[in-house]
Amino acid sequence: MATQPPLPLAGRVAIVTGSSRGIGRAIAIHLAELGARIVINYTSKAADAERAAAEINAFPVREEITGKGPRAIVVQANVSEPNQVKSMFDAAETAFESPVHILVNSAGILDPNHPTIANTSVEDFDRIFSVNTRGAFLCSKEAANRLKKGGGGRIILVSSSTTRSLRLGYGTYAASKAAVETMVKILAKELKGTGITANCVAPGPIATEMFYDGKSPELVEKIAGECPFGRIGEAKDVVPLVGFLAGDGGEWVNGQIIPVNGGYV
């Protein structure tokens, strides 16, 4: 019988924030397929998070990742709250009896009404920056102090191609992600000597609930037409890049902002 190829992330623990649905869910499942043990993080969609974890825990048994507890656990945490972020890392270390190796910060929100800057309320500005920017900061801060040192540590923050496309109505959202991109470039330098890399993945329009919210079919068609492939991206278009960055092959990619958008921008 042919032997199965080794799993590149076997024995590693990954936290994927915002992974109850959308891009985060697809990333969590992909990293699990590569052998990682996963923390499915959510804020309010408990049932979705449980379904994602159940799918991972139903994967076929592989010898190199048996005997170490479940393949996936579910942890509720608001990434904009420091104590909850800390508790999320604590839960990962306890459940898997291992330091965390990989952080993928995918949690994010936007205003589906896409108001202009002039019409954006201060409350909505603060809410978007709280999750997108403060959340990325708190998760990166915790990861910088707690990821496994000496090689294999990966911080991957999900940004957005809106920082380049500069679409009308995305001023606050794009600004919140641009701050994350600047932060990750500095973070990569500050992690010198730890063996931990820090990068941003910047998807274009991706067919998720968050993307479709508030958009007419005509607008979706228009956005699809702006991509050289003539379609909206899918989560499966993004996850291979995240999987690469999370593995040993991604070690020499550090402090980078990598668009994955089919040439949309």
CB neighbours (10 Å) of residue 107?
Answer: 25
Residue 264 known to be catalytic: no
- Is 195 a domain residue? yes
Q: Domain of 131?
A: 13-260
CB neighbours (10 Å) of residue 11?
Answer: 15
Q: How many domains does the chain have?
A: 1
- Is 8 a domain residue? no
Q: What residue has token string 């606050």?
A: 172
- Is 29 a domain residue? yes
- Please tell me the distance from the alpha carbon of residue 171 to that of residue 264, in angstroms, as a whole number: 18
Q: What is the pLDDT of residue 4?
A: 76
- Is 191 a domain residue? yes
CATH code of 34's domain: 3.40.50.720
Catalytic residue among 42, 170, 173, 264: 173
Quick one: tokens of 179?
A: 């701050």
- Is 1 a domain residue? no
Q: What is the pLDDT of residue 1?
A: 45
Parallel, antiparallel or unpaired: strands 13-17 and 102-105: parallel
Question: For the residues of the chain, what is the DSSP string, one character each?
Answer: -PPPPPPTTTT-EEEEET-SSHHHHHHHHHHHHTT-EEEEEESS-HHHHHHHHHHHHTSPP-GGG-SSS-SEEEEE--TTSHHHHHHHHHHHHHHHTS---EEEE------TT---GGG--HHHHHHHHIIIIIHHHHHHHHHHHHSPSSS--EEEEE--THHHH--TT-HHHHHHHHHHHHHHHHHHHHTTTTT-EEEEEEE-SB-SHHHHTT--HHHHHHHHHTSTTSS-B-HHHHHHHHHHHHSGGGTT--S-EEEESTT--
- Is 265 a domain residue? no
- Is 155 a domain residue? yes
Each residue's pLDDT expressed in tens, for the chain with a length of 265 residues: 457 778 999 989 999 999 999 999 999 999 999 999 999 999 999 999 999 999 999 988 777 775 567 899 999 999 999 999 999 999 999 999 999 999 999 999 999 899 999 999 999 999 999 999 999 999 999 999 999 998 889 999 999 999 999 999 999 999 999 999 999 999 999 999 999 999 999 999 888 888 888 788 888 888 888 888 899 889 999 999 999 999 999 999 999 999 999 888 7
- Is 161 a domain residue? yes
pTM confidence score: 0.94
Instruction: Mention every residue, 6+ apart, whose C-beta is less than 8 A from residue 27.
Output: 16, 19, 104, 106, 235, 238, 239, 242
